Structure 1
Amino acid sequence: MEQQKVIDEIEYFKAQKLTDQLYENGLLSFVEYDKLTELNRRSFSPLFADLLPKVLDKSLKKR
Structure 2
Amino acid sequence: MTKENNYYTDERIRSDLDYQRAQRIAKNMLDSGLISGEEFNKLCNINRKTFSPLFVEIYPKITCYVSETE
Structure 1 residues not aligned, in runs of 5+: none
- Report matched runs for 1:1-63 at 5 Å: 1-54=8-61, 55-60=63-68
Shift of 1:53: 1.6
TM-score by length of 2: 0.79
**Structure with a larger share of its residues in helix:** 1
| CA radius of gyration, larger in | 2
Moved over 2 A (4+): none
State the number of aligned residues. 61
Identity of aligned residues (%): 31
RMSD after superposition: 1.5
Structure 2 residues not aligned, in runs of 5+: 1-7
